[in-house]
Amino acid sequence: MNVVLGIDFSGGHLYPALTFAKALKQSRPQLNVLFTGANRSQEEVIKGAGFISIGFKVQFRQILLESFLRFFEAIYILLCFSPSRVYGFGGRNSFFLILIASFFRPTYIYEPNVVLGKANKILIHFCRRTFRGIGNTEKTAAKEIYVGVPIRQSIIAKANISPSQILRRIDLQTDRKYFTVFIFGGSKGSLVINNTVTEALKFLQKNAFQFIHITGREGKEKVEAIYREYGFFCFCRAFFDDMGILYQASHLVVCRGGASSLAEINFFSRPAIVVPYPYASGHQKDNAEFLARKGCILVKEEKDFTPLSLATLLMRVRNDEKLRERFMISHEKVRIWTRAEEFASLLWP
């Protein structure tokens, strides 16, 4: 029995689908889970997880030509693989697949963000059910179910590890005077965060802060050199698979506003300075402002994200223990994350 999961070209589309696929295979091993809509780098991740990517290999962005190819791709998938169910995880790559399949097969869409994406705003009228990640659960439409944003078990398990044990493992200081800041920018938004953080160092005391910094593909050597120049302890990597230990070791997070990142911050109940990526159709800003209104995080738009403003916020959070406690309490009241197995059981009604 085939089940097809449609994704788009970002981690925000891929990882919830991959989490669902893994949990689904554990609970229903007879299912054959297939992915469509992936780019080449995503296909490597999908293949590494033991799944197959199908469909045309459309790697460019030109909406008219894309639409033409995706229309025929949808017909090809439905005829050749005859899926028993089709799930869409946002974006336009699987738009025609979900639309056409909705007339013949049970179809479902998952929207992790507070506001529906352009494709999902149309597809919500055709699919059998819409699953939502972040948002006001009291304002739920008839076909909508709030299921949260899935977190991998490998991340959840790290909450039981002592932060000092992790700090020793990554060669950082365990002395309580050091406030540990965890910084990452995601696949597309690292450069601005990298530059602003390193320029903010001149405003900070080197014996008060230490840094965990995931720089992205470019800039690791430069960023690490600047930390050393200013005399700060740091753990710098271009990429790092075991993100759970980095959250657990930190006092505060600086990052973008993707739904998965916010769910992980919410799970670990960490204060955060969130800088929404301005080219994500407003999704990240809406996500971040939702949690900010609940008192869970601080939000800085990119245009206001200056070295001095960042340094001021870092010192404010470090020096105000009661403020950090309020963030923690707010996180515990507002749960947007969900376990992978719970997520899979909710998406397979």
Q: How long, in residues, is the chain? A: 349
Mean pLDDT of 187-204: 89
* Helical residues (DSSP H) of 28-62, grouped into ranges: 40-48
Q: Which of 198, 306, 193, 200 is nearest to 258 (CA)?
A: 193
pTM for the structure as a whole: 0.92
Q: Which of 256, 258, 270, 250 is nearest to 330 (CA)?
A: 270
Q: Please give the structure tokens belonging to residue 44.
A: 């490597």
pLDDT cut 70: percent of the chain above it: 97
What per-residue confidence (pLDDT) applies to 140? Answer: 54
Res. 187: pLDDT tops 90: no
Per-residue model confidence as pLDDT tens digits over 286-319 = 999 999 999 999 999 999 999 999 999 999 999 9
**β-pairing verdict for 179-184 and 129-132:** unpaired
* Domains recognised in the chain with CATH numbers: 2-147 (3.40.50.2000), 155-337 (3.40.50.2000)
Per-residue model confidence as pLDDT tens digits over 118-177 = 899 999 999 999 999 998 665 556 688 999 999 988 899 999 999 999 999 999 999 999
- pLDDT-based confidence at residue 189 (cuts at 50, 70, 90): low
